[in-house]
């Protein structure tokens, strides 16, 4: 049971390049989310999904796209990278909304630098 995995761990992009951050979980969780972590700002929600085929925007969605074709995978796409997207990105999943089900399990993070 690998939990939540993210690839790559580190990435450097040039302004304008596109890329996809991969996230996968093997716990059969319905709920998956992407957060970004910036110094002094905690973690902020980018996009989330409540199941395969269903996604929605979080607090800071601009410049990012997501899709959820399977329960296991939730990739985050940067369409045209900008220096403001330099951050650490975390993927998280949870089983449900109530009680112990809403514990979110986090991946190890991806550190992205946009030059």
Binding site for another protein (CB under 8 A): 31, 33, 35, 40-45, 48-50, 56, 58, 88, 90, 92, 94, 96-100, 102-104, 106, 108-109
Distances (CA, A) of 84 to 21, 63, 67, 72, 81: 16, 10, 22, 29, 8
Question: Of 92 and 112, which CB lies nearer to another protein in the complex structure?
Answer: 92
Residue 105 CB, nearest approach to another protein (Å): 8
Question: Of 26 and 38, which CB lies nearer to another protein in the complex structure?
Answer: 38
Question: Of 79 and 97, which CB lies nearer to another protein in the complex structure?
Answer: 97
Residue 11 CB, nearest approach to another protein (Å): 15
28 vs 87: CA distance, rounded Å:
28
Q: How many helices (H) and strands (E) does the chain have?
A: 0, 11
């Amino acid at each position: 049971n690998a939990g939540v995995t993210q690839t790559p761990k580190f990435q450097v992009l040039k302004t304008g390049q596109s890329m996809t951050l991969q996230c996968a979980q093997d716990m059969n969780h319905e709920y998956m989310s992407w957060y970004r972590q910036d110094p002094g700002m905690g973690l902020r929600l980018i996009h989330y999904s409540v199941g395969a085929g269903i996604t929605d925007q979080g607090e800071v969605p601009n410049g990012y796209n997501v899709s959820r074709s399977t329960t296991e995978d939730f990739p985050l796409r940067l369409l045209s990278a900008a220096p403001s997207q330099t951050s650490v990105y975390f993927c998280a999943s949870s089983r449900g909304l109530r009680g112990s089900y809403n514990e979110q399990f986090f991946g190890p993070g991806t550190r992205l630098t946009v030059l």
